[in-house]
Amino acid sequence: LSELEALMERMKRLQEDKEDEEASQEEMATRFEKEKKESLLVISGGICAFPVLFSFDDEIVSTDVSRYIEDPGFGYKDFARRGEDHLPTFRAQDYTWENHGFSLVNRLYSDIGHLLDEKFRMVYNLTYNTMATHEDVDTTTLRRALFNYVHCMYGIRYDDYDYGEVNQLLERSLKVYIKTVTCYPERTTKRMYDSYWRQFKHSEKVHVNLLLMEARMQAELLYALRAITRHLT
């Protein structure tokens, strides 16, 4: 099977499995923890095959980027420390964008919540119902996996989502691309962009980039707004 046909086959199989039997809460929690730990081993440019966590503290930002920022060493760091057994988890049910973040940010800055919410929804729901040359395809499962994987990298868990879908739909090379774009965008290259989903249209791959960045922004907002809520209460 081609890359595209294999992906569509996995999407179809996931839907059939979901209709036959749903995973228990315990199973879904276990799958999230596994995916979260594995995401820490994903590094830009490749997947580490060794059971250790990596830090980019000593890496130097390229000169081209450092010209535009005050602190060249400023950048993403994994949310867990090296060798830590119990990685922190942000349970989305305890603080969601829809039920908590939206109202708080609107209170702090009038109407900004509506603008942000519209932006999140527009990018998440954007679809031509196509996958490369195939039409009338429901891409909801795939879009949800991309969005939730970004949040998983930030330690955010949705109790009602089966993270086994992430592992089945997103290949390792794509996870490398996702982490690079989301956490280290300055390292993204055209070769990386060209290397995944080679049969897909550029518009579909650009949509992936938009989805990744909006998921990252929402994750950052959730952490910031939750901290503000705790301070206010």
Q: How far apart are the first and last CA of the chain?
A: 55
Alpha carbon distance 209, 204 (integer Å): 9
Asked if the model's pLDDT at residue 85 lies above 60, the reply is: yes
Measure the CA–CA gap between 121 and 109, rounded to whole angstroms: 20
Q: What is the pLDDT of residue 66?
A: 65
Most confident range (mean pLDDT) of 43-57, 70-84, 86-100, 145-159 is 145-159
**Averaged confidence pLDDT in the chain:** 84
For the record, the structure tokens of 214 come out as 């909006």
**CA-wise closest residue to 148 among 176, 112, 175:** 175
Q: Per-residue pLDDT tens for 183-222?
A: 988 888 899 899 889 999 999 999 999 999 999 999 999 9
229, pLDDT greater than 60: yes
Residue 121 above 70 pLDDT?
A: yes
pLDDT greater than 90 at residue 52 = no
Residue 1 has pLDDT above 80, yes or no: no
Confidence of residue 81 (pLDDT cuts 50, 70, 90): low
Identify the pLDDT of residue 184. Answer: 87
Question: What is the percent of the chain with per-residue pLDDT over 70, rounded to a whole number?
Answer: 83
Identify the pLDDT of residue 82.
Answer: 56
What is residue 63's predicted lDDT score, i.e. its pLDDT? Answer: 47
Mean pLDDT of 170-190: 90
Q: What is the total count of domains within the chain?
A: 1
HEC letters along the chain: CCHHHHHHHHHHHHHHHHHHCCCCHHHHHHHHHHHHHHHHCEECCEECCCCCCCCCCCCCCCHHHHCCCCCCCCCCCCCCCCCCCCCCCEECCCCCHHHHHHHHHHHHCCCHHHHHHHHHHHHHHCCCCEECCEECCCCHHHHHHHHHHHHHHCCEECCCCCCHHHHHHCCHHHHHHHHHHHHCHHHCCHHHHHHCCCCCCHHHHHHHHHHHHHHHHHHHHHHHHHHHHHHHC
- Mean pLDDT value of segment 129-144: 94
More confident residue, 88 or 204: 204
Which residue would you say has higher pLDDT here, 58 or 130? 130
pLDDT score for 41: 78
The position carrying tokens 């980019």 is 56
Task: Give the integer Cα–Cα distance in Å for 122 and 166.
Answer: 22
Q: So what's the pLDDT on residue 61?
A: 43
Q: For residue 188, give both structure tokens.
A: 């993204």
In terms of residue numbers, what domain contains 6?
1-230
Residue 57 has pLDDT above 50, yes or no: no
Give residue 165's pLDDT: 94
